[in-house]
Amino acid sequence: MKSIVILISGRGSNMEAIVNAGIPGARIAAVISNRPDAKGLAFAAARGIPTAVVDHKAFPSREAFDAALAETIDTHGAELVVLAGFMRVLTDDFVRRYEGRLMNIHPSLLPSFPGLHTHRRALEAGVRVHGATVHFVTPTLDCGPIVIQAVVPVLADDDESRLAARVLAQEHRIYPQAVRWFVDGRIGFDAHGRVRLSGEAAAGGGCTVPALDG
């Protein structure tokens, strides 16, 4: 069993999707939040998952917070750390500590629209498609190796909330799949640092979107 620690700051709907997926070979070792009022903590506790709070407000610096967070993660023997709506910018040292085993999901088709307000920016840009990306975290924000992406059309009558809802539904589909591939040992990297799945054809660039499977 691979131990997974999930970090949240709020409801943690992607955390819920991963827990509800019941991924074979995976054990959700803990759900940790930087906010004591995060609603996702109750969801996890109700399912017998250990929870912890490392309140960022209790620390004088990002470095001190990240050190305490890492210590808490490591007590649970995390083999994979999953960011699920964790609204803190992590220090480079923290990211390097978990290199190759720290995943995030971003509500856009990276490398387009990194950072915040992705749905608003997609609508303002007039793109025809939008989506979500699961990627490994690197020190450069939203620029890590892409694991999987999902595409949704941008409709003529879309506003931010309608577009966000369709993207979120796809997030709930692809994040458990990415975790499953990690647990199954299918994820590797090519010479350019791009993700390659065992059994996947070598052709294609860094934005290749592998097919979902069980």
The span from the CA of 145 to the CA of 147, in Å, is 6
The candidate with the shortest Cα–Cα distance to 83, out of 25, 41, 135, 147, is: 135
User: Which position among 106, 119, 130, 135 bears the catalytic label?
Assistant: 106
**What is each CA distance from 118 to 82, 135, 138, 141, 151, in whole angstroms?**
21, 16, 19, 14, 14
- Secondary structure (DSSP) of 137-204: --SSTT-SPEEEEEEEEPPTT--HHHHHHHHHHHHHHHHHHHHHHHHTT-EEE-TTS-EEETTS-S-S
Q: How far apart are CA 92 and CA 169, in angstroms?
A: 31
In the chain, the N- to C-terminal Cα span, in Å, equals 17
- Annotated catalytic residue 106: yes
How far apart, in whole angstroms, are the C-alpha atoms of residue 214 and residue 212?
7
Which of the residues are catalytic?
106
